[in-house]
């Protein structure tokens, strides 16, 4: 692969790296795993980049590969220890702009997200990224109606986790 393509890719990934970080934050529980997944997604993006066509948005293409890597390709190197790792992940967030009550709600919400399975996390990710149901359905390979119904069920599940 030529140098020009490589520079172009690195610039794009650098510009949109927060998108990859968001995927990593949702699918990992500690810094080491976050870094590991970030690297794997970067490798997958780079390997697929020659086939990337400019007609699609780089971000659309990147979050699809990012989610696919997290869901289907990535293997955790060490076993998770949920109790300690969840605490760790919460401390990574900054809540300076939020008042105490909101801060607490956010903490609980992030904890609740950790209890969802890989596919449910992907749906929430796309929802948070403001994608419409057609795009969510296409990304996951399910029907649009079912994506909508599933998202409603996830909302109910999250409510139940927050208010048991």
Partner 1 sequence: MKELDLLKKHWNEQKDFPKVSKNEINKMIHKKSSSIVKWIFIISVIEFLILNLVSYFYSFKEEELILKGKPISFIVENIDYLSAAISVFFIILFYLNYKKISVADSTKKLIVQILKTKKTVNYYIYTNLVALAIVLIAVALSIIPWDSNELNISHTLVIIGAIIILLLIFVAIIWLYYKVVYGLLIKKLMKNYKELEKIDTDI
For residue 43, which phi and psi values (nearest 5 degrees)? -65, -45
User: At its nearest, how many Å lie between partner 1 and the CB of residue 132?
Assistant: 14
User: At its nearest, how many Å lie between partner 1 and the CB of residue 55?
Assistant: 13
Q: Toward partner 1, which CB reaches closer, 11 or 84? A: 11
Q: Toward partner 1, which CB reaches closer, 56 or 81? A: 56
User: At its nearest, how many Å lie between partner 1 and the CB of residue 139?
Assistant: 6
User: At its nearest, how many Å lie between partner 1 and the CB of residue 81?
Assistant: 18
Residue with tokens 């989610």: 67
User: At its nearest, how many Å lie between partner 1 and the CB of residue 98?
Assistant: 7
Q: What is the DSSP string of the chain?
A: --HHHHHHHHHHHHHTHHHHHHHHHHH-SSHHHHHHHHHHHHHHHHHHGGG--TTS-HHHHHHHHHHHIIIII---SS---HHHHHHHHHHT---TTS-HHHHHHHHHHHHHHHTS-HHHHHHHHHHHTT--HHHHHHHHTS-HHHHHHHHHHHHHHHHHHH--
Q: From 113, 12, 29, select the one nearest 65 (Cα to Cα).
A: 12
Q: Toward partner 1, which CB reaches closer, 83 or 101? A: 101
């Amino acid at each position: 692969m030529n140098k020009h393509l490589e520079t172009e890719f690195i610039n794009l990934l650098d510009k949109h790296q927060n998108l990859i970080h968001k995927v990593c934050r949702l699918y990992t529980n500690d810094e080491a795993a976050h870094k590991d997944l970030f690297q794997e997604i970067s490798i997958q993006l780079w390997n697929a980049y020659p086939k990337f066509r400019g007609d699609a948005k780089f971000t659309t293409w990147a979050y699809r590969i990012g989610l696919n890597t997290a869901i289907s390709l990535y293997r955790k190197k060490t076993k998770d220890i949920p109790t300690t790792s969840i605490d760790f992940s919460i401390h990574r967030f900054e809540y300076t702009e939020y008042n105490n009550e909101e801060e607490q709600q956010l903490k609980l919400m992030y904890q609740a997200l950790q209890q969802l399975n890989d596919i449910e996390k992907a749906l929430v990710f796309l929802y948070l990224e403001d994608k419409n149901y057609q795009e969510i359905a296409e990304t996951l390979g399910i029907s649009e109606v079912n994506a909508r119904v599933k998202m409603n069920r996830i909302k109910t599940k999250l409510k139940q986790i927050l208010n048991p």
